Amino acid sequence: MGGERPETSVERQSSFAERMATDFDTTLLRNLVWLCIENDGQLTRICDGRAVVSEAADLRQHNQGEDVEYLGRLEAIEATLDWLARQRALELVAQACADCLTDGEAWASNTDPDDGRVGAAQAEARRWLKHHTNEAARVGALEALDQ
């Protein structure tokens, strides 16, 4: 999987970025979430793998029919990769929230150094992390709550 990414993979990753970013009210946190999800290599590979498995399942079904052996296994792998992609996207939201708490001022200074906006973004990030401790723990983002 070198050059071109499958279009469905790119769309899936962008969809995660868009949906999860719009869960936040503050522009700073929205931007951090979007960037983390759009630029994550691990999520890229998971989405690419899902797209390839989906194409393989479609091709197998098209060539050999609905009841072909192993089609169900391919579909189960596709569903597992889809679940894993969502989990990774949530981990990236946790990482973005941690980044907002630890480096919010630096991020904000690049666009709009309004301290009130940073404070609001950090409060929102703190709330999200407190409600998503499993995802935060998987990426070591819980320590940011101590900031």
Q: Identify the pLDDT of residue 72.
A: 86
Buried b (16+ CB within 10 A) or exposed e, 27-37: ebbbbbbbbbb
Q: Identify the pLDDT of residue 104.
A: 75
| 3-state SS class at 130 | helix
Q: Identify the pLDDT of residue 91.
A: 98
Question: Alpha-carbon Rg of the chain, whole angstroms?
Answer: 18
Q: Identify the pLDDT of residue 36.
A: 96
Q: How do residues 51-87 score in pLDDT, each as one tens digit?
A: 999 999 998 888 887 777 788 899 999 999 999 999 9
Contact 89, 37 (CB under 8 A): yes
Q: What is the mean pLDDT of each run of 10 residues along the chain (147 residues)?
A: 82 97 94 96 98 92 80 92 98 97 72 70 96 96 89
Please give the DSSP secondary-structure letter assigned to residue 60.
H
